[in-house]
Amino acid sequence: MRVAFFPLGSQRWLGGTAYLTNLLFAISKLHNPKIHPVLLVDILNKDIITSKYSPYAELIPDAVLRWLIDRLFHVMMDRDVIQMYDKLLMKADISVVSHLTKAVKPSHHFRTIGWIPDFQHLHLPEMFSTKEISQRNDNFLNIARYHDLIIVSSHDSLRDFKSFAPTHAHKARVLQFVAQLNEPADDRSGQARFREKYGRYSKFFFLPNQFWKHKNHRIIFEAVKLLKDRGCEITVLCTGFLGDNRNNKHMSDLMEYIRNNNIEDNIILLGVVERDDLYYLMRNCISVLNPSLFEGWSTTVEESKSMGKNVILSDIPVHREQNPPSSIYFNPHDAEGLANILFEKYSQHSGGPDIELERSAKAKLTERTLHFAESYQNIVLELMR
């Protein structure tokens, strides 16, 4: 059964790219697959997409696809566009189009599965403009109305969906994704490169989140300042795109806080780094940090689970649902409480791999990955039945 996807994510939303890569990888590990993933890519970005996804999915480039997607998402009910869309998918012999983040009019030729990553705007409306809230409400309601099934990433999101669109609650299915790790090479040249780039940070915490306001970097910075005032100098390395398109002032406010509180040597902003670098930093830090105020299903936490790395994370429902082992939860509004946790960790640990956690994570990863793939395949088969 041929199941089509469009590429997800961007440089500003790396979580979407990671999600789709992990799903396609998991499907490729099924012992007796009943679905065949197909990725529909526009000709302009074919080379970029090929390098990421070609090992796990059949790629179908089309010269008009970018134009078609743009028009389709802006003019959902345009009959001519829908007909072109149908023809493209019929030509590729597609049975299901999956993980659509916009609504499309139902077709007689294929079934559709929508994807809603989270309902953040319901819980943190102050992070959005009135226009953005209205747009998200309209889009999510249309996804619920027009798609055959809807995938959400957690039981926490399922509760939100049932409250948000109770008439369509029967369509929702939970699919908790599992992250894979491309571990850095252990060869001498690879290790020498990492030491050259990051060797001066011998003992550090690691915060690998995008710099969106709801990711709550500020609470980490406040805790670092409190420790500095007590005479305890700790280092936090931060990766992720240095910008927030919803809050243009957010990044400049963070930079101003760092300068005004003289913690430039404590907070190191690395920006977007290569995946190998990301995993090297994650493995060699004292703890991974995730202070986020809201998540649909945290990629940071999921990657830490798959690696076997302890996490210090905000006490929010979805983090409890993800339940990473040997980790510590904190109130995401309590800088003093967080500072105490960081001080204790810093005093007792020098960083480096969590050997026992890594061993346990590695033993469980194959089973977790197969469960992820089988859960998704069952959703598709249920739809077709």
The domains located in the chain, with CATH, are: 2-179+367-384 (3.40.50.2000), 188-353 (3.40.50.2000)
| Least confident interval from 106-110, 227-231, 305-309, 343-347 | 106-110
Please tell me the predicted confidence (pLDDT) of residue 63: 47
**Per-residue model confidence as pLDDT tens digits over 310-359:** 999 999 999 999 999 999 999 999 999 999 999 999 999 989 999 999 99
**Per-residue model confidence as pLDDT tens digits over 36-74:** 999 887 665 555 666 677 788 888 876 455 555 555 555
Q: How confident is the model at residue 190 (pLDDT cuts 50, 70, 90)?
A: low
**Could you tell me the pTM of the whole model?**
0.89
Is the pLDDT score of 291 beyond 90?
A: yes
Q: What is the CA radius of gyration of the chain?
A: 22
Please tell me the predicted confidence (pLDDT) of residue 62: 65
Cα-Cα-Cα-Cα dihedral sign, residues 260, 263, 269, 275: negative
Please tell me the predicted confidence (pLDDT) of residue 359: 95
Element (H, E) at 114: strand 111-115
Element (H, E) at 288: strand 288-290
Please tell me the predicted confidence (pLDDT) of residue 188: 62
Average pLDDT, the chain: 88
Which of 59-73, 179-193, 301-315 reaches the highest mean pLDDT? 301-315
| Burial bucket for residue 32 (CB in 10 Å: 0-12, 13-18, 19+) | exposed
**Per-residue model confidence as pLDDT tens digits over 145-163:** 999 999 999 999 999 999 9
